[in-house]
């Protein structure tokens, strides 16, 4: 008989773990968090907290003693240090073997190639390097620890590449073909302990400087493209046999070709809209999966939505209460503030979701513009 899960350990205490709080409460689960600082967002929703770096395996052993299953808020973990715990019977979901091919972006590319998913051409960037052998434009990515635009560089020509290359020479890098996309898309998918896969609506993500600024739900794409992306998500999760929620970012070209950009083995920024726009949020769905509970249908409960990230635009300790109140006064608007103590340019401080219906009048871009004007001024 399967073990009943009541206490879920989460490695990482940022906003993704914090947003699991509502789902945990509705499912009657306790969250036990491993995170470095008492000021980290998820501490406020935790039943218990172990204060330690997220890659501290000794702390994770203590975490295991306080919970029934362990999951992950992010991928900045020391996988090799966790395998001995798994061998001792600690239950990780997703399982460590499923995470292994995804944490290093080069290994991830190789895995996607091996299971036949469409993606850009790629290779390791070897040293010593002859830039004359490269085709521009191209994309460079750090193989580990890249997020929110950090560790991703797009070069249009050889001159700009050579300027930055010297600074990156000691960083393990992946070089990718630049895809001239028409839209950037994303999809959230979840897999249960029994192998059931559910897929959320495909969304359009709009990036600036490789950081997601806004998400349009659902994406304005053909039913054929939706079906292709749904099949990509199912192929990936079935191949990995991974339990939990995964975020998949994709490119769509002008001739409707789909390419996988990146896979994140966790809840994802592109799925935050689900907190307000779906019957079951990605965070509750993730907890359902890792706790061995039945998955529900990931359907919209409105015609659509717009999600706008509230990014820092200055260095300060401002809580921006007045701006948040103005945002919350907009029709069908929900403000999620992560409670971070410091703002800095580009840091995700919160997000806003606006629900759409057939009578909303404004198009999604106009709504996003209104939110950003209120926030950035």
Q: Determine, yes or no, domain membership for 221.
A: yes
Q: What is the CATH number of the domain that holds 84?
A: 3.40.50.20
Three-state SS at 145: coil
More confidently predicted of 148 and 337: 337
- Going by pLDDT thresholds of 50, 70 and 90, the confidence category of residue 173 is confident
Residue-range definition of the domain harbouring residue 40: 7-92
Is there a binding annotation on residue 54? no
> Between vectors from CA 291 to CA 286 and to CA 13, what angle results, nearest 5°?
55
More confidently predicted of 290 and 3: 290
Kindly report the average pLDDT of the chain as a whole number.
Answer: 92
Q: What is the CATH number of the domain that holds 269?
A: 3.30.470.20
Is there a binding annotation on residue 3? no
Q: What is the rounded average pLDDT of the residues 75-91?
A: 94
Q: Are residues 15 and 153 both part of a single domain?
A: no
Q: Within a 10 A sphere around the Cβ of 27, how many other Cβ atoms? A: 16
Q: Are residues 216 and 262 both part of a single domain?
A: yes
The model's pTM is: 0.94
Q: Determine, yes or no, domain membership for 11.
A: yes
Q: What is the CATH number of the domain that holds 155?
A: 3.30.1490.20
Percent of the chain surpassing pLDDT 70: 95
Is there a binding annotation on residue 177? yes
Q: Determine, yes or no, domain membership for 114.
A: no
What does the pLDDT look like over 88-146, one tens digit per residue? 999 999 999 999 999 999 999 999 999 999 999 998 877 666 777 788 899 988 888 76
Q: Are residues 195 and 308 both part of a single domain?
A: yes
Domain final position from 155, 177, 199: 177
Q: Are residues 235 and 185 both part of a single domain?
A: yes
Look at residue 302 in the predicted model and tell me its pLDDT: 94
Q: Are residues 291 and 312 both part of a single domain?
A: yes
What does the pLDDT look like over 250-271, one tens digit per residue? 999 999 999 999 999 999 999 9
Q: What is the rounded average pLDDT of the residues 351-365?
A: 84
Q: Are residues 228 and 361 both part of a single domain?
A: yes
| pLDDT surpassing 60 at residue 148 | no
Q: Determine, yes or no, domain membership for 105.
A: no
Look at residue 151 in the predicted model and tell me its pLDDT: 78
Is there a binding annotation on residue 301? no
Is there a binding annotation on residue 178? yes
Q: Are residues 21 and 34 both part of a single domain?
A: yes
Which alpha helices (H) appear in the chain, and where do they start and end?
Answer: 15-18, 21-27, 57-64, 79-87, 96-99, 105-114, 158-168, 223-240, 274-277, 282-290, 321-328, 364-376
Number of domains in the chain: 3
More confidently predicted of 4 and 300: 300
Domain final position from 148, 177, 206: 177
Q: Determine, yes or no, domain membership for 325.
A: yes
| pLDDT surpassing 50 at residue 1 | no
Q: Are residues 131 and 167 both part of a single domain?
A: yes
Structure tokens at 153: 């560089």
Q: Are residues 173 and 187 both part of a single domain?
A: no
């Amino acid at each position: 008989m399967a073990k009943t899960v009541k206490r879920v350990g989460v490695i990482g205490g940022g906003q993704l773990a914090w947003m699991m709080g509502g789902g945990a409460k509705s499912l009657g689960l306790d969250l036990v968090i491993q995170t470095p600082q008492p000021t980290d967002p998820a501490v406020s929703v935790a039943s218990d907290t172990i204060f330690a770096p997220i890659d501290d395996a000794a702390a994770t052993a203590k975490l295991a003693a306080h919970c029934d299953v362990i999951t992950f808020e992010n991928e900045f973990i020391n996988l090799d240090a966790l395998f001995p715990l798994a061998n001792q019977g600690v239950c990780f979901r997703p399982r460590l073997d499923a995470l292994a091919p995804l944490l290093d972006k080069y290994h991830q590319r190789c895995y996607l190639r091996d299971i036949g998913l469409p993606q850009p051409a790629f290779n390791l960037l070897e040293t010593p390097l002859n830039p004359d052998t490269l085709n521009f434009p191209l994309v460079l990515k750090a193989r580990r620890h890249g997020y929110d635009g950090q560790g991703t560089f797009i070069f249009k020509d050889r001159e700009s590449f050579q300027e930055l290359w010297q600074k990156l020479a000691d960083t393990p890098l992946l070089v990718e073909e630049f895809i001239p996309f028409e839209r950037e898309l994303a999809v959230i998918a979840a897999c249960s302990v029994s192998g059931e896969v559910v897929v959320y609506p495909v969304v359009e993500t709009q990036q600036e400087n490789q950081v997601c600024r806004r998400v349009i739900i659902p994406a304005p794409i053909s039913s054929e493209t939706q079906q292709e992306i749904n099949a990509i998500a199912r192929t990936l999760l079935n191949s990995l046999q991974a339990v939990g929620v995964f975020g998949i970012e994709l490119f769509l070209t002008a001739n409707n070709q789909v390419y996988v950009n990146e896979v994140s083995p966790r809840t994802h920024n592109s799925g935050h809209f689900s907190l307000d726009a779906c019957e079951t949020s990605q965070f509750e769905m993730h907890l359902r999966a890792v706790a061995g509970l039945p998955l529900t249908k990931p359907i919209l409960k409105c015609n659509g939505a717009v999600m706008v990230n509230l990014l820092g635009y200055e260095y300060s300790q401002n809580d921006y209460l007045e701006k948040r109140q103005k945002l919350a006064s907009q029709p069908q608007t929900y403000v999620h503030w992560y409670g971070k103590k410091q703002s800095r340019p580009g840091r995700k401080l919160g997000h806003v979701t606006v629900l759409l219906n057939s009578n909303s009048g404004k198009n999604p871009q106009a709504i996003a513009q209104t939110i950003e004007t209120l926030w950035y001024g």
